[in-house]
Amino acid sequence: MELCDYTAHELHDMLVRREISCEDICRSIFKRIKLLDKKIKAYITVIEEEALMRARDIDQEISQGAEPGPLTGIPVAIKDNICTEGLRTTCASKILHNFVPPYNATVINKLHSQKVIITGKTNMDEFAMGSSTENSGFFPTSNPWALDRVPGGSSGGSAAAVAAGEAICALGSDTGGSIRQPAAFCGVVGMKPTYGAVSRFGLVAFASSLDQIGPMTRDVTDAALMLNAICGHDRWDSTSIPTDYPDFTTFLVDDIKGLRVGVPKEYFTEGLSPEVREIIEKAIATLETLGANIVETTLPHTDYALPAYYLIAPGEASSNLARYDGVRYGYRADDADDVVDMFIKSRSRGFGDEVKRRIMLGSYALSAGYYDAYYLKALKVRTLIKRDFEAAFENCDVLISPTTPTPAFRKGEKIDDPLTMYMSDIYTLAVNLAGLPAISVPGGFRNGLPVGVQFIGKPLGEGTLLRVAYSFEQSSNYRGKRPPIVEEVL
């Protein structure tokens, strides 16, 4: 097995024993990128030279006696909507194709303090708006398990990179399922923390009350290590929660005896494919065998989550994206007759179809005469959804559900049908509306494609989620499986 196929904690152990160097790990990653990324296209920007220089510097420190930390020398890919000082950050949009931020996002500074090595910026749906990474303004990304399938979205590049060994870990962002859905499609672990647990400073905004940065990793242990690195209060983010966070690795205990696991009946109705249902039911049986108490519960306003989300998120997007006007930075039309014409041409050419669609939806919902009828009503529904979860957690410690209704679908299958595409996030977006933590872990395979199992927790309940996910992971044999395309090149 190549170094790029190991987990972060396995590589850490080898570094501690001085069996490998940080440069060895990096060279393995970039070798894999060169072998596979022409087919997968997980990255928009790769920074091999800078990464190798940083790896050599860290190796020098270790040779002089410095003890490697848990993430020292670990190559991490960054979703391209997270600002990186001096490194192009495009949001996979032509309107930001040459934008280089003058500062780092808080999570980037946190990773630097852990001596992580950034490998580059990953592809995504433009401005994080999509469920397949087909809405990228540059090129679509392929699923490593089947190149004719989508990797999910909007963090599809990050998920594909981790699955294919083009990064050990990655950061994604999750507004309605954009970490968990691609994690499920690509057979990796993806975690959306509690809203406010991870700073959003430096995350290019899509929907500010929903966006959250989180880790995408090979296993649950690495997810805990990444959470340790990125969680914490940040004075630069007014929504950041001022609380102390535990060492999340202490929750990696293979014991869930007596834990109450809720099964929301609304998540097992029409629309859930038989192959996914079978895997989720098997996962529930596994948890029961491990000693968990399975409890049927209800989230009665589930049917209203998707319409509420697609009023709230586009409403916030239409406001956030108003800043891209061709005046201060980003793409500017150079053939405009006047200022107004420049605004129109810059935005018309710079934004893709899905972004324009959501801006128009949001502007309509926020407009005079429609605000009360649509946006305000959606906010009230959001409150009802939040109360549904609160009621469910009175009798449960965590909830279990599918992450997606189907395994990864084929490229082009849903791109011309936005409503069908939006349904891909039917089991994930309510979590964002309620601000809860959730994690998707590999639950099995159907027809060679990964299927994810989602666990949903109480606010700041990441520890319990990790405990359940870790126990489930230990009982499965899905860890270490590699996509066929990886096996072909080895």
Note the pLDDT tens digit of each residue in 339-351. 899 999 999 999 9
pLDDT at 274: 96
**For the chain, how long is the longest CA-to-CA vector?**
70
pLDDT at 189: 98
In the structure, what pLDDT confidence band is assigned to residue 329 with cuts at 50, 70 and 90?
confident
pLDDT(328) > 90 = no
Give the pLDDT mean for 160-183. Answer: 98
Give the pLDDT mean for 414-433. Answer: 94
DSSP calls for 270-335 = TT--HHHHHHHHHHHHHHHHTTPEEEEE--TTGGGHHHHHHHHHHHHHHHHGGG-SSSSSS---SS
pLDDT(395) > 80 = yes
Give the pLDDT mean for 396-418. Answer: 96
Give the pLDDT mean for 58-82. Answer: 97
pLDDT at 48: 98
In the structure, what pLDDT confidence band is assigned to residue 488 with cuts at 50, 70 and 90?
confident
Query: Could you tell me the CA-to-CA distances from 245 to 196, 197, 345 in Å, in that order?
Result: 12, 9, 47
pLDDT at 257: 97
The CA distance from 62 to 3, in Å, is 19
The CA distance from 335 to 345, in Å, is 9
Q: What is the pLDDT of residues 440-477, one digit of tens each?
A: 999 999 999 999 999 999 999 999 999 999 999 999 88
Give the pLDDT mean for 417-432. Answer: 94
The CA distance from 96 to 352, in Å, is 12
Give the pLDDT mean for 163-182. Answer: 98
Task: Report which of 46, 248, 40, 309 is spatially closest to residue 159, judged by C-alpha positions.
Answer: 40
In the structure, what pLDDT confidence band is assigned to residue 361 with cuts at 50, 70 and 90?
very high
pLDDT(388) > 90 = yes
pLDDT at 402: 98
Give the pLDDT mean for 2-29. Answer: 97
Residues 81/127, Cβ–Cβ less than 8 Å: yes
pLDDT(230) > 90 = yes
pLDDT at 70: 98
> Which domains are present in the chain?
3-263+393-489 (3.90.1300.10)
Q: What is the pLDDT of residues 129-154, one digit of tens each?
A: 999 999 999 999 999 999 999 999 99
pLDDT(43) > 90 = yes
pLDDT at 336: 86
Which are the catalytic amino acids? 79, 154, 178
Give the pLDDT mean for 252-266. Answer: 97
In the structure, what pLDDT confidence band is assigned to residue 68 with cuts at 50, 70 and 90?
very high
Higher pLDDT, 479 or 116: 116
pLDDT(57) > 80 = yes
In the structure, what pLDDT confidence band is assigned to residue 368 with cuts at 50, 70 and 90?
confident
Q: What is the pLDDT of residues 269-326, one digit of tens each?
A: 888 999 999 999 999 999 999 999 999 999 999 999 999 999 999 999 999 999 999 8
Of 85-99, 291-305, 386-400, 470-484, minimum mean pLDDT range: 470-484
Residues 177/429, Cβ–Cβ less than 8 Å: yes
pLDDT at 369: 85
The CA distance from 261 to 374, in Å, is 35
pLDDT(489) > 80 = no
What rounded mean pLDDT belongs to the chain?
96
Instruction: Name 434's Cβ contacts closer than 8 Å, sequence gap at least 6.
Output: 382, 385, 386, 389
Give the pLDDT mean for 188-206. Answer: 98
Of 74-88, 299-313, 413-427, minimum mean pLDDT range: 413-427
pLDDT(260) > 90 = yes
pLDDT at 478: 76
pLDDT at 318: 96
- Read off the pTM: 0.96
Q: How many CB atoms lie within 10 A of CB 453?
A: 28
